[in-house]
Structure 1
Amino acid sequence: MMRLGYEAMTGILLALLAAVSWGSIVFISNKLGGDEDSQTLGTTGGALLFAIVVFLYKRPDLSTLVWVVGFISGLFWSLGQKNQFGAVRYLGVAKTAPMSTGLQLIGTTFFGVFIFKEWQTKMNIIVGIAALVLIIAGALLTSLNQEGERGQTKNLKKGLLVLLISTVGFVGYVVLIRWFNIDGWAAVLPQAIGMVTGAFLMTLRDKPYNKYAIRNILTGILWSTGNLGLLLALPRIGVATSFSLSQTGIVISTIGGLFFLNERKSKKQVWRVLLGCLFIIAGGVVMGVTKR
């Protein structure tokens, strides 16, 4: 029993490490500059550097299955990240982060609960759904438009389409690793190679080899820290709980977009966003209860 408690607590802390790391990505990449192509390419470059260091340190066994699944998972991620960066152009950081989170949570929770059967008791299901509702409600609150914004409907439709594509990529990247029970330490290098390959192919036409791509290597190292945390949390607390907890970091990017990137909001919207952040934090805390 003590062992299970320790494993669950470790998994929760690892998922929260991912939350802090990932919650800073969209905000930091925006501050570093560049378009979605240079940001994606730079991020994958940083992820590959991180993966090489981890591989040399841990020396994990890499079977053919690990290489194939990890590589494909990385391709999915590059699809998700490029389109998430692209959505910022239409929605801004403060809207993109929470909306993206809500869509990803729906996808990963579906697989976690209905495919992997991670919530097996009635109490788990009740508490888990309550937590998910809180997080999604918070995401919706933070993403509501200001009345009278010019072109808001058109931009919202374009942004949502881009985010749907992004969601497919992010959900596929997480679910594949869990489906084949790939060890987190072993997955890092193949996954990073898949990420770089995907980013290179998707940005090849625009040739984003510039200073912004180099700057965003820092974004990749930050992302990789969170990624490793999530990969190690998956076998401990499952997809539904670990991914939901990892997404509570959108509070960082949302507040960063409001107060440090000067994304214009009315006073009413600011309070709505802050209330949404409180909902998200509460949801993350409640989600942790499903693994008590």
Structure 2
Amino acid sequence: MMGILAALVTVLAWGTWLAPSQNVPLRRQEIRTFYVATANLIVALAVALWRGSWELDAGAFWWPFAGGLVWAVSGLCAFTATANLGIAKAFGIWAPLNIVVSLVAGRVIFGEFAHPSRTQLTVLVLAVLLIVAGVVLIVAAKPGAEQQSGTRSVPRGLLGALGAGVLWGLYFVPVELAGVSPWAGALPLAIGIFAGSTVLLLLTRHGPRLAAAQDYLRVTGTGVLWSVGNFGMLMLVDAWGAGRGYTVSQLSLVVNALVGIYWLKEPAPRTRGALLTLGGCALATIGGVVIGALKS
């Protein structure tokens, strides 16, 4: 029962976390990253206080902290992607790339899949091809006229999605190298995310002020949802194991695509772009689930 509850929390939170702040007017995406990091740090502090998990030596602290710095840059890339491509397309590109990059990192750094069987190798190649096909469909889903107006830039969005795909597939590596549990690494990771996001904001020479009072609630709501999904994932891993837990979390891609198309109209429902995006997300999700099942 706890595993099912954790799965629902993870999929719903990570499937919707970008939506609250998607249409908040921002001078720079670094501002959104800063507020997301702040909200995540507050949630992480509350969870650490509740669990009493404060004791970490310096070595165990700095590795997750470094992972947080990587996450901060990843978050900026992701927000740049969603601002220029829309949530459904951006998430549909970076999420499957996260899986591929994490798989490569697991093989190169941690020696996973050292001696795969012929069947495993065949299934793995087919799964990667599904992911690539899904991403190609999503990229081919050109935005409508309303999305091409204003300051949106498809090349900038694609670069942001690729950056998020690579870096969010790697930020866990320092946490793994620290040799601590995800629960123990959650707080120093959150501190690193906050520190990195603060530096990124300071480099822009823009203050964190937003246009309207409700905008503060919306951008921090994005951070709270991501943090809730993160801790839901930790509970899911505790209940079902890392492989199954990671597999189930990929269903958030489907939720995210539905939110982007049917709530935010990016791209608008019943358009060619929407159909291609949904089809691409479906293929990429199947590929990700297969890889997650193999990793377990």
Once residues 92 and 23 of structure 1 are traced to their aligned partners in structure 2, the CA distance between those partners, rounded to angstroms, is 14
- Equivalenced residues, count: 279
CA distance in 2, matches of 1:264, 1:276: 13
Determine whether 1:29 maps to 2:16. no
1:124 is the counterpart of 2:127 = no
Residues in 2 aligned to 1:13 and 1:283: alpha-carbon distance in whole angstroms = 24
Q: Any idea what the Cα deviations from partners look like across 1:69-89, whole Å, max 9, x if unmatched? A: 121111111110012101223
- From 86, 89, 94, the equivalent of 1:95 is 89
Partner residue of 1:41? 34
SS class of match (1:216)? helix
**Corresponding residue for 1:286?**
290
| Aligned-pair CA distance for 1:168 | 4.4
- Structure 1 pair 267/255, CA: closer, same or farther in 2 (3 Å)? same
Larger deviation: 101-110 or 31-40?
A: 31-40
With over 3 angstroms needed to count, the CA separation of the structure-2 counterparts of 1:287 and 1:104, relative to structure 1, is closer
Aligned to 1:144: 140
Q: TM-score, normalised by structure 1?
A: 0.80
2:256 aligned to 246, 253, 257, which one? 253
Deviations 1:110-136 (A, max 9, x none): 112333233343143333343333334
| Inter-partner Cα distance in structure 2 for 1:135 and 1:242 | 19
1:195 aligned residue: 193
Determine whether 1:222 maps to 2:225. Answer: yes
| Change in 2 beyond 3 A, CA 1:195/1:291 | closer
Q: Deviations over 1:169-190 (max 9, x none)?
A: 3233122212333211111111
Structure 1 residues 186, 107: closer, same or farther in 2, change over 3 A? same
Find out whether 1:208 has 2:205 as its counterpart: no
Report SS of the residue matched to 1:290: helix
| 1:54 aligned partner, one-letter code | V
Distance 2:120 2:8 in 1: 20
Aligned to 2:242: 237
The structural deviation recorded for 1:245 is 4.9
Alignment partners' CA distance in 1, 2:126 and 2:209? 45
State the Cα deviation string for residues 207-257 of structure 1 (Å, max 9, x = none): 12334344322221211122234456399436xx76565344122222212
CA distance in 2, matches of 1:62, 1:273: 43
2:64–2:178 contact (8 Å) kept in structure 1: no
Where in structure 2 are there 5+ consecutive unaligned residues? none
**SS state at 2:168 partner:** helix
Q: Relative to structure 1, is the Cα distance of residues 182 and 136 closer, same or farther in structure 2, using a 3 angstrom cutoff? A: farther
Q: What does residue 77 of structure 2 align with?
A: 83
**How far has the Cα of 1:68 moved from its partner?**
0.5
- Structure with higher helix content: 1
Task: Kindly indicate whether the alpha-carbon contact (under 8 Å) linking 1:20 and 1:252 is maintained by their aligned counterparts in 2.
Answer: yes
Q: Is there any run of 5+ residues in structure 1 with no aligned partner, and where? A: 1-8
State the identity %. 29
Who is 2:157 aligned against?
Answer: 159
Residue 261 of structure 2 aligns to which amino acid in structure 1? L
Instruction: Identify the range of structure 1 (219-228 vs 119-128) with the bigger mean alpha-carbon deviation.
Output: 119-128
Q: Matches of 1:21 and 1:189 in 2, distance apart?
A: 19
How far apart, CA to CA, are the structure 2 residues paired with 1:71 and 1:89? Answer: 27
Aligned partners of 2:290 and 2:170: how far apart in 1?
25
Q: Distance in 2 between matches of 1:254 and 1:164?
A: 18
Structure 1 residue 33 displacement after superposition: 5.7
User: Residue 107 of structure 2 aligns with which residue?
Assistant: 113
Q: 1:272 matched to which residue of 2?
A: 276
